[in-house]
Amino acid sequence: MASRTKSQFLANMSHELRTPLNAIIGFGELIEQLPAEKRSAGKPRQYATHISHAGRHLLEIVNDILNISEIESGSFTLKLEPQILRDIADSCVLLVEKRMEDKSQTLTVEIDPDLPLVIADHLRLKQILINLLTNASKFTPEGGRITIGGTRADEDTVAISVIDTGCGMRPEEIELALKPFVRVDSAYTRNQEGTGLGLPIAKALAQRHRGKFNVTSSPGAGTTVRFTLPTFARDSAIS
């Protein structure tokens, strides 16, 4: 079963990898064929933009595959330090806001200003939030709303949520979406780029922080992804 699942994943990824590679090669060849005096403006600039976009997309795919491989093999460690959740959320917003502006989506940050510090790996926590925000934007139509929330779950834990008004999922689709190398097959997801690893990576990283990870969703009503992190007060001895 595991072998068939990974084989199906690789079959799906062959298209994902070839599409940006063909764009990079094709537009590069078009630039090469132009006379030297025409390579600095007009069409070549458009081709360069297409090459840059395809290159970034390809890098995202490769990074996702490498990340899930690292997580499954346990070959990375977390650098756990006290973090200000609002600061990390704001830095993530800067990285995804252009994508959301292009779809006229509204992004709101609703984090309790009185939250204590959380214990987390700065880079990996940003990765969790960026994965969740990117997913939310991808599966939310134009004009939709996305919210980052942060509240006190209990005395020792903070809960972070990413809520969207997107297409939503059925319970069985949530189960599939959380599995590495499996993609939810629906009319909406077939038109979306990506590996489908964003949610499994976010879940695995949250659990490596000793947090809980939960997804609630329903078709047409959006999705809420919620995960928890320990507070600094409880785990101040962690290094």
- Summarize pLDDT for 34-47 with one digit per residue, the tens: 676 665 556 776 77
pTM for this structure? 0.74
Enter the tokens of residue 176: 């599939």
**Taking residues 93-111, what's their average pLDDT?**
92
Enter the tokens of residue 14: 């062959």
- CA dist 171 and 127 (Å) reads 25
Q: With bands split at pLDDT 50, 70 and 90, how would you rate the model's confidence at 33?
A: confident
- CA dist 197 and 178 (Å) reads 8
Task: State the first-to-last Cα distance of the chain, in angstroms, to the nearest integer.
Answer: 39
Which domains are delineated in the chain? Answer: 2-73 (1.10.287.130), 80-230 (3.30.565.10)
Q: Which of 188, 78, 60, 33 is nearest to 134 (CA)?
A: 60
**Taking residues 167-184, what's their average pLDDT?**
84
